[in-house]
Amino acid sequence: MGKSDVSKKEPSITSSGRSRQVSLTAESYATSEEDVFPVDGQLMMVLPRAGASLNNPDVQLPILRSDEGGYYLEMRVEADAGDTSEVAVTRRVPLDNLTSEEWQDLKTQYANLDLQACTDQGISRGLEKIQDRKVQRLFMALLTFLNPRQVSIVLYLYKQAAKQGAGPLVSFRSNDLLETLGYTRTKDGGFASKLRSQLNRDLVALHRTELVLAQSLRKGNNIGAKVMIKSVLRIKDYEIDNVPRDFDLAKAADYTYELADAYTVGLEFFDGPGRTGDYVLFASDTDITQKLGSNAKSNYKTKLLIYLASRMKWDALQDGQYLVISKQYLFKNLDLLGSNSSRNNQIFWRTVEELQQEGYVLGAQELPGKKKVTNIQFQINAERIRCH
């Protein structure tokens, strides 16, 4: 198995036929323990699957389901027999306190969901026929759950957890988070109402949506079976600076364009950093800024970084630094599912170059696999990201 050349001082990309290679030195990216923060290992193992898009071939269409425990809106990501890392995950929103009449009305609204349009023309277009804004936003939250912007929020919260040292409880100011995400302040020092509204909806989506994991997960060197139901986070309380102002967390997410000024959340996946020592360390200067004017789903850099981190938890690094992944699985998890292979390749290698420039990836190249399957070998920089 060939290895990437990492001896050059300057980043470089070379191409020859079907083989491509990216290489970079690690000298500029050395970090100390104080320059990293931990994210729960179990969360990292399932994060790409939990956030799989509607276009992913493993994703089933959303359904409304009722049982003795209540009513649910849910989507299931089926396991892939070809790779143990492609685990089955169900994401669901419990629909609390529904009357039978409201349940029937919800089923009527569900019939107006145009899933074909969601896939072909975008989710907003597929939701146009749903008249109830609450139901429309509910579907939007489920269909876009754990998009790269929400994943960036999760990374921010774990970084704050490490700074604050209060275990899974994290307190933060909304404006601080919006600023860290790279958004521009308005003349009065605040942020546009659209951005503020989106942040509250993201937080409520992470709070409301439960992940049901009914698949074996790796525990150290063993595989153990475990079924659990967790949210990524739970909002514990929120603060409003202007006391007379009327604010309701769920109402704001479902109907209005509001945001609380401060939140305290509990990170439900926190056994790794808090108790078991099973986590992934990220560099504290990990860039979570959002590109202005771009859709969150096109943030391939965050998708690839998280997928590599996830695979590092599933697959032992070869020689302590090399990770080999099928190009098919890389493209599926990056949502590069269109038929334009040239475009997909360009986006993929451009994304690899972004991670290379930020020092997470020291080298990457194509390797021929069995049955004409193409693999990508990554050389991971343990100074920037590593498993514990």
Q: In the chain, what are the domain boundaries?
A: 1-30+299-388, 40-46+146-280, 52-144
pLDDT at 249: 87
The DSSP bridge partners found for residue 64 are 73
Q: State yes or no: pLDDT of 54 exceeds 70.
A: yes
pLDDT at 333: 96
pLDDT in tens, 225-275: 678 899 999 999 999 887 656 788 888 998 888 899 999 999 999 998 888
- Segment (H or E) for 77: strand 70-77
Task: Give, in order, the Cα–Cα distances in Å from 158 to each of 151, 155, 163, 284, 289.
Answer: 11, 5, 9, 10, 16
**Section 166-177 average pLDDT:** 96
Query: 67-71, 154-158, 280-284, 364-368 — which is least confidently predicted?
Result: 67-71
Alpha-carbon distance 10 to 14, whole Å? Answer: 13
- Segment (H or E) for 51: none
Q: State yes or no: pLDDT of 114 exceeds 80.
A: yes
pLDDT at 20: 53
Q: How far is CA 34 from the centre of its chain?
A: 24
Convert 216-235 to b/e letters by CB count within 10 Å (16 or more is b): ebbeeeeeeeeeeebbbbeb
pLDDT in tens, 88-99: 999 999 998 788
pLDDT at 32: 55
- Going 145 to 148 to 150 to 156, the CA torsion angle's sign is positive
Query: 21-35, 72-86, 336-350 — which is least confidently predicted?
Result: 21-35
Q: State yes or no: pLDDT of 29 exceeds 50.
A: no
Of the candidates 306, 296, 318, 300, which has an alpha carbon nearest to the alpha carbon of residue 375? 318
CB 336 within 8 A of CB 347: yes
Q: How far is CA 275 from the centre of its chain?
A: 23
Alpha-carbon distance 244 to 151, whole Å? Answer: 33
Q: State yes or no: pLDDT of 27 exceeds 50.
A: no
**Section 360-366 average pLDDT:** 96
CB 296 within 8 A of CB 182: no
pLDDT at 257: 83
Q: State yes or no: pLDDT of 21 exceeds 60.
A: no
Provide the whole-model pTM: 0.89
Helix axes 133-143, 193-208, angle to 10 degrees: 70
Q: State yes or no: pLDDT of 17 exceeds 50.
A: no
pLDDT at 39: 97
Alpha-carbon distance 372 to 130, whole Å? Answer: 45
Q: State yes or no: pLDDT of 166 exceeds 50.
A: yes
